Amino acid sequence: VHANKAGNLGDGAFRGCASLVYVGISGLTYIPPSTFSTCTNLYYIYLPDVTLVNSNAFENCIAIKTITLKSAQTVYSNAFSGCSSLRTINLPEMTSFENIFNPSLTIIPAFPASLEVFNAPKLETTVSNMFFHSKNIKNIYIDSVQEIAPSTFNGCNNGIKVTASHGILLLVFFR
């Protein structure tokens, strides 16, 4: 899919579209819930104007290895759940990470186990269990963070490098 200008997409607009491998849409500012959910062959995304990524937006997009949403300011916690190949997330403008509450889950899935690098230099506050499923996380860049919530790194297995406020480097090790 390639479009120079897009208005709005409906919830689940491309859900389950196995033949979708590339998305390039300019002018789109909002990704509704489940828009690209279960697009199992989607591996490249170019959405330069998106400012809000809603719940399950890329759920189970198992071919994506890297995602960069250069204008995204708000991302919902389960936007990337089930993206089992996702290694790198770049969200250079993200200031808000919205936790989705689901009473049937004790831990909200935030990022997949495959994630190695998380870059959100303008993020101001983390949420509890944000990296709970990210067993392979190695580098976290949250340069503007003002508050790190309890249990943010709960579940991380490896030693990780966290670059936080004003370049402060935290090395976090787990047993």
Q: What is the DSSP-derived secondary structure letter of residue 166? A: G
Q: How many CA atoms within 13 Å lie on the side-chain side of 137?
A: 29
Q: What is the pLDDT of residue 15?
A: 96
Residues 6+ apart with CB under 8 A from 103: none
119 to 17, 106, 108, 156, 173: CA distances (angstroms) = 28, 26, 20, 17, 19
Q: What is the pLDDT of residue 127?
A: 83
Q: What is the pLDDT of residue 47?
A: 92
- Beta-bridge partner residues of 6: none
Q: What is the pLDDT of residue 147?
A: 84
Q: What is the pLDDT of residue 170?
A: 60
Q: What is the pLDDT of residue 80?
A: 92
Average pLDDT for runs of 10 along the chain of length 175: 66 94 90 95 93 93 94 90 94 86 57 90 87 86 86 77 69 53
Q: What is the pLDDT of residue 175?
A: 47
